[in-house]
Structure 1
Amino acid sequence: MRIHNHVQGEAVKVYSADGETQVLGDVLARGGEGAVHPLVSRPEVLVKLYHPDVLAKRGAELPRKVEAMTARRTAFDDMPVCWPLISVYNAAGTWTGYAMYRAEGVPMMKLAHSMLYQKYFPGLDRRRLADYVLAFVETIARLHERDVFVGDYNLNNIMCSPTTGKVTLIDCDSFQMRHEGKVYPCPVGSMDMTPAELMGRDFKTVRRTVESERFSVAIVLFKALMLGRHPYDAIGGENPVDNIRAGNFPYGRETTGRPKGPWHNIWSHMPYRLKQFFIQTFTEGARDPAQRATLEEWVEALRLYRAEIDKGWHEVAIRPERPKSKAYRGTQSIEVAGESST
């Protein structure tokens, strides 16, 4: 199916390859790559139109990648991802973007925020938070099974529904994927979400791996569980990017710069296994990709965390008022780096 873009008055009219006509609604979102519109007749379908300068810069590789993604669309029909459905074209027949289904929810960036979570997720507790992050990791694991890697991890591209608990990934056109033997890389990324071995390299030529994804996934999990705090954000130390390079994780053993206040309290209440995986991934794993916790390990640990919350073994408050004491939960306390955990 092909869609054409034509301005008629204030409306943007689009056409499919077989001549079907649709009108786009007002812009829902605008970013560095393009603008997103709903179809007036089907608001559950969105169209992303790339900015002209992006189309000029990316050349023929961008439409080729999206076309390859649309060819694989049926493999993702059962997944909570806004996968490209069809390509779109302007009135002259030039490729300008694609259509996708709309995602419900609020960006995880507002969930992982020390203030905004109260506005957008009223009544949020760590039961629901554990459900959100577990659903996220399970979706990433399913993508990996299909030889798809997110690459550019951004909490604004992870939509969390405050009502249903559903987690949906958007901006899928940047994902690294393989089709008919060709790898289409993820050409973008954020340095503070990227493992050290990929820093300083051209993302357009980088091949994301299971190991590189494990590092980025762990950062997302940490930020979600820690009110948005970056794992390598140390007090009185270097910036997160330099700390990633050095493997300086302030919550590890015998380290300095650990943030005080609510972040210290949250960390003290975190289950032992989750702490171990974070320490393993962000210290030894910062330099050695083989040391990073696997997605399967995260899923198992998060499922156990969720079950133990229901048993009353863990604090449910998003922002605990005080650090965890040895007396909390009575038994099965384990000392980790000078503090009590489970």
Structure 2
Amino acid sequence: MKKNLLPVHNEQGQTFSLVDGNIGAGGEGKIWAVHGQPDFVAKIYKKITPQHEPKLKAMLANPPVSAHIAWPVDLLYEQKRLVGFRMPYVRESDSIFKFYHPILRKKKYPYFELKHFYHIAYNLAVAVSKIHDKGHVIGDVNESNILVNSKTLVTIIDTDSFQIKGQQGNIYPSLVGKPEYTPPELQGVNFKSVNRTKEHDYFGLAVLIFQLLMDGIHPTDGIVTSQDSVGRDERIKRGFFPYQKNAVIKPRPTAPPFNQLHPEVQSAFIRCFVDGYRNPCQRPSAIEWQQVLQKASPSIQASPISVKRTSYRVKPQPKLSLFQWALIKRLISNRLDPIRLFIAVFVLFIALVIFWPSSSPNESPLNGELLPPSAKIEPPAAPSQPKIVPLTVRSNIDNNTVFINGKNAGSSPLDVKLPLGSYMVRVEKDGYFPFKGLIDLQQAQNLRVKLQPKPKQLIISSNINNATVSINRKNYGSTPVNVKLPPAFYTVQVLKDGYFPFEKQIYLQQAQNLRVKLRPIDVDTQNGPKYPVPSVAFTLTALKPVVSVAFAPDSQTLVSGGHTVKLWQISTGQPRDTLIQDKVVMSVSFSPDGHKLAWSSHNEIILWDVNTGQPLHTLTGHKNLVMSVSFSPDGHTLASASSDKTIKLWDVRTGQPLHTLTGHKDSVMSVSFSPDGRTLASGSRDQTIKLWEISRAKLLHTLIGHKKMVWSVAYTPDGRILASGSKDKTIKLWKVSSGKALHSLTGHKYGVRSISFSPDGRVLASGSNDNTIKLWAVSTGKRLHSLTGHKKGVLSVCFSPDGSRLASGSDDKTIKLWSSK
């Protein structure tokens, strides 16, 4: 009977005939053979969604460096309509489940010993690390996606279900997951709303390694000592692990002894399932597992995995039949004349050749040593070196030109085979410094090259000469400025006495000439700057009171917090996006590069990726309401103030706590970093302001002067003056170097809820429960203007980084954008 054929083509127009070979099928699609290409198969989807094509293209553009991951090689179309993709065909391999399950292993792999399972675990960790190297996350870690062959080589399949990171940083989520391999923090969570992380994969990886080394036992399996009977999902969620101290469950009587494992391996499991339960970053990474398994290798003896495991095959000694032994005995029992002796020796020789058992065709070639770490997952090297070995050249920038001994070898990524010897490798790319290195090629080698971009020219000039220019808060002198900087985002600020400040974020991708126009400020010698009376440009309507407002660094977006977190377009005054609803949000803050948002929700802080619209981390640790959040100037640290009387410093990249600052006797209401990032100021209900040294997490000074709680603190852009707003209706200006009060600003009729300095540091805005906003001259402490319009208390005020706008959030459920132009 003729098999069904399906004609398809790839993006380049190459045609293929797919054969219905009954290779495999699942809920999402079916696997077809590719006619004439036995090393490839095709996955054809049952239903194509709009997300399939961009995700698969992102996979093609960013593949992991490993032959043991079944990654798509091209997309397949039927009459220009996407139907699936082509990928390598994995042969002669079984699910990892058949290796660690005692009964199934006995049938097909009875000779496998503990050392083989360490090999599988090591190779699995290598494959996972190669996926993570590219920024991808498996997400759906489970035993059915891991294939192993008789040489312990591992291949990961079903890769289109992974969470994929595109080259522009966009994320294509993984929407599936098996509960047995899902970490506690994701149990019962809808994966559509989750940005998976490497730490989530580390949990599933540790479960698989545990099952390999512990006879298929799941790490949460055991006998519950209490009366409740809970399922495995609930045991994972509660962090049950029978081998920890004071465990609520006991190990199964049939389980192999945990102490049979190498101490380093035991410690790694404790880190994952005990320490990692509360802090996922404590879980060993895939690379750490490789190191741990290597350390464990010398302690492994050539013995079965445990006495409870199926015994492995032992080579039998040669055996002869009774007839053969009798024949030999009879021949040599008579007179040992030369002819009889020759016949006896000849018969013995033939018997040994015929009946000496050969190795099982499936017997593992491994020698008990763990595989060395390398870019490829390969079995242990053969004793003799080949004459031709592969060289792989990869770079952080693709499509470079690679020269080997002066000859053009092609573009990276590059895979070539060369004779043993020394080679000069040079990698070139326009706009980047070339790489040049001498390598001694004695075995397969993976050369990873990092090219550094050449700096680009940036010229900054203004209509007013000798204006001070700072780039990312570093002083670069006076205009005109001519500098060369690596391609990146930069915040440019131009300041001049008597002029409104200029601030703009730019992306320096090529040579750029930035022309700045500064606007003059009229100055009254007694009262300070003649700041023009701001007028309302827009009134934005919210559904609930607006507790906090903050501008993005480009001054084009505003974020507001209260019972929702919303983004607003400044140019139109229209809402751009609603990030969360129906949550108590006390504080919002943009990171200095504008790529991240932080806001407080009850006793947690949410870190949000503005580009992807997905949460990055949820920071937990405070015991009461979080009142204020603030990013450090470099964006690496986040400070949070709480009603639990503490301040916490967090690592923005990992979401982990760095320090907890204690010393306030009551709720901490506000925190603010100094412009140089070295000091943090905090205002408290205990009526004091404290200054903390960040590097040592140490208290420097306590400023006393307010008679009621301090609601808000803020530094001037030069860091010399600190302002504090209090429920006692006053604002105090403090000299940071001495801790002395310079001015006490009075005029509000009720408490001062929020304060903000203009970018040039000349004007201070204050919002009060008396429904007004007041503008003050910092140099003299004189009031410049009083802005009215809100019908209830003003809870938050914020100047835009370019100084053109002032935003105010109120208890009257509105935000007003005031323009000084």
TM > 0.5 fold call: yes
Q: Is 1:147 aligned to 2:135, yes or no? A: yes
CA distance in 2, matches of 1:19, 1:276: 52
Aligned to 2:59: 69
Alignment of 1:303-314 (within 5 A): 303-309=294-300, 312=301
Does the alignment pair 1:252 with 2:244?
yes
Note the residue ranges of structure 1 that are not aligned, 5 or more in a row.
1-7, 323-342
- Quick one: distance in 2 between partners of 1:22 and 1:148? 31
The 3 A distance-change label for structure 1 pair 21 and 249 is closer
Larger radius of gyration: 2
Note the C-alpha offset of 1:227. Answer: 2.1
Which residue, out of 64, 89, 95, partners 1:102? 89
Shift of 1:256: 4.3
Q: 2:23 aligns with which of 25, 28, 35?
A: 28
Q: Distance in 1 between matches of 2:295 and 2:307?
A: 20
In the alignment, the residues of structure 1 paired with residue 81 and residue 159 of structure 2 have an alpha-carbon distance, to the nearest angstrom, of 21
Match of 2:693 in 1: none
Q: Name whichever of 205-214 and 42-51 sits farther off.
A: 205-214
Matched, 1:205 2:217: no
What TM-score do the two structures reach when normalised by structure 1?
0.81
Q: Write the deviation string for residues 148-197 of structure 1: whole angstroms up to 9, x where unpaired.
A: 111101111111111x3211111111111211221111111112211122
Once the two structures are superposed, residues 285-342 of structure 1 have per-residue CA deviations (whole angstroms, 9 ceiling, x without a partner) of 1122122223333211111222221xx3xx73123249xxxxxxxxxxxxxxxxxxxx
What is the match of residue 283 of structure 1? 274
CA distance in 2: counterparts of 1:205 and 1:79, whole angstroms: 32
Change (3 A) 1:12 1:235: farther
> How many residues are paired up?
301
Q: Which amino acid aligns with 1:175?
A: F
For 2:349, the equivalent position in structure 1 comes to: none
Question: Which residue of the other structure, out of 224, 230, 233, is the alignment partner of 1:238?
Answer: 230
Q: Which has the higher strand share?
A: 2
Question: Who is 2:43 aligned against?
Answer: 48
CA contact (8 A) 2:61 2:167 kept: no
Q: Verify: 1:216 aligned to 2:208, yes or no.
A: no
What's 1:5 paired with?
none
User: Are the equivalent residues in 2 in contact too, given 1:214–1:295 (CA < 8 A)?
Assistant: yes
Partner letter of residue 55 of structure 2?
Answer: K
Q: More displaced, 212-221 or 126-135? A: 212-221
Report the AA paired with residue 58 of structure 2.
Answer: A
Indicate the residue corresponding to 2:77 in structure 1.
89
CA–CA separation in structure 1 for the residues paired with 2:250 and 2:215: 15
What per-residue deviation string (whole Å, max 9, x for no partner) do you get for residues 255-305 of structure 1? 243343441x34231112211221221123112212222333321111122
CA contact under 8 A between 1:232 and 1:248: conserved in structure 2?
yes
- DSSP 3-state at the match of 2:207: helix
| Structure 1 or 2: more helix by fraction | 1
The 3-state SS of whatever aligns with 1:317 is coil
- Distance, in Å, in 2 between the alignment partners of 1:149 and 1:19 is 31
Q: Give the Cα separation in 1 of the matches to 2:121 and 2:127.
A: 10
**Residue 80 of structure 1: which of 54, 68, 82 is its match?**
68
Distance across 1 between alignment mates of 2:268 and 2:174:
26
Aligned equivalent of 1:268: 259
- The question of 1:113 aligning with 2:137 is answered no
Where structure 2 has 5 or more consecutive residues not aligned to the other structure, the ranges are 310-821
- 1:157 aligned partner, one-letter code: N
Cα distance between partner residues in 2 of 1:280 and 1:20: 51
> Which residue is 1:11 aligned to?
4
SS at match of 1:229: coil
Residue 32 of structure 1 aligns to which amino acid in structure 2?
A: G
CA distance in 2, matches of 1:180, 1:137: 24
Corresponding residue number in structure 1 for 2:213: 225
Matches within 5 A, 1:159-174: 159-162=147-150, 164-174=151-161
Residue 44 of structure 1: CA displacement? Answer: 1.4
Residue 19 of structure 1: how far off its partner (Å) = 5.1
The aligned residue for residue 176 of structure 1 is 163
Is contact 2:101-2:216 (8 Å) kept?
A: yes
Question: Residue 65 of structure 1: CA displacement?
Answer: 0.6
CA distance in 2, matches of 1:40, 1:117: 34
Aligned AA for 2:159?
C
Match of 1:338 in 2: none
Q: Secondary structure at the match of 2:165?
A: strand
Cα distance in 1 for partners of 2:154, 2:3 equals 34
| CA drift at 1:9 | 6.3
Match of 1:328 in 2: none
Asked if the contact 2:113/2:305 (under 8 Å) is kept, the reply is: yes
Which shows bigger deviation, 24-33 or 198-207?
Answer: 198-207
1:308-327 correspondence runs (5 A): 308-309=299-300, 312=301, 316-321=303-308
